[in-house]
Structure 1
Amino acid sequence: MSFKFEKLIIWQESMRYGETIFLLSNKLPESEKFNLISQIQRAADSIALNIAEGSILQSKLEFKRFLGYSIRSIAEVVTCLYKAKYRNYIDETEFQTVYEFSYKLMNSIISFRNKVE
């Protein structure tokens, strides 16, 4: 027995992405706890949350809308990553690794969304 969303690769990858962001954000200074850390963690977690919520008892149009929210949350995470890099909290290698993960996940969700009819 499982929920529909658990079988979706985009949900599985977004769960992995959220944990990656969580671990990375825990390296940021305590002074960012209520600002950048909170923002990036909430944005990263909302990706999988929106995929799950949109897949249950929603019309296909509504599901596509929730997938759009997930895509926008990735853009929010990437912006937070830039902030962390500009503030010298993460180095270029860490940034690039997560940036590439972000880009691949975004394209996977867009591709999936385009196939939902």
Structure 2
Amino acid sequence: MHNFENLLFWQKSIQLAKQVYLVCQDIPNDEKFGLISQMKRAAISISSNIAEGSGRNSNKEFNHFLGISLGSAFELQTQLILTKELNLLSSEKIESLLKEISEIQKMIYSFKNKLIM
């Protein structure tokens, strides 16, 4: 069992989710049940799956949940790119979030590889 709160990529994913919630306030309300909802769920899923996996019985199970978390990070990345393409948010806000996501993705991927060795 791992203490997820000590994992830097979990800490960063919590900060990312907070940032996503804040920038979603700037997206038009007609996207409330579409893109905004999807982005928030994907952002929350990153840290939630890290936490859930850390409490599982084996590193194999933890690795599985890290894979789900990584998938959510790529999902959020795609949604942010679409948001940028639709000009729903400023490029500066999007680029900052995309940079954070990329860093988290690399950290999760690296940890996954060390976990299964």
Could you state the TM-score of these two structures normalised by the residue count of structure 2? Answer: 0.93
Between the aligned partners of 2:89 and 2:57, the Cα distance in structure 1 is: 39
Provide the residue aligned with 1:21 in structure 2. 20
Higher mean alpha-carbon deviation, 105-114 vs 87-96, is at 87-96
Matching of residue 93 in structure 1 with residue 54 in structure 2 = no
Give the alignment of 1:1-117 within 5 angstroms: 4-117=3-116
Q: Paired residues, what number?
A: 115
Question: Alignment partner of 1:17: what SS?
Answer: helix
How far 1:21 moved relative to its partner? 1.0
Task: Say whether the 8 Å CA contact 2:56–2:62 is kept in structure 1.
Answer: no
**Amino acid in structure 1 at the alignment position of 2:85:** Y
Question: Alignment partner of 1:42: what SS?
Answer: helix
**Amino acid in structure 2 at the alignment position of 1:47:** I
Q: Which runs of 5+ in 1 are unaligned?
A: none
Between the aligned partners of 2:88 and 2:17, the Cα distance in structure 1 is: 18
Between the aligned partners of 1:87 and 1:58, the Cα distance in structure 2 is: 43
User: What root-mean-square deviation, in Å, do the aligned CA atoms of Structure 1 and Structure 2 show?
Assistant: 1.2
Between the aligned partners of 2:94 and 2:56, the Cα distance in structure 1 is: 37
Identity over aligned pairs, percent: 38
How far 1:57 moved relative to its partner? 2.9
Question: Alignment partner of 1:34: what SS?
Answer: coil
- The ranges of structure 1 where at least 4 consecutive aligned residues each deviate by more than 4 angstroms after the TM superposition are none
Q: Which runs of 5+ in 2 are unaligned?
A: none
Higher mean alpha-carbon deviation, 92-101 vs 70-79, is at 92-101
Could you state the TM-score of these two structures normalised by the residue count of structure 1? Answer: 0.93
How far 1:58 moved relative to its partner? 2.6
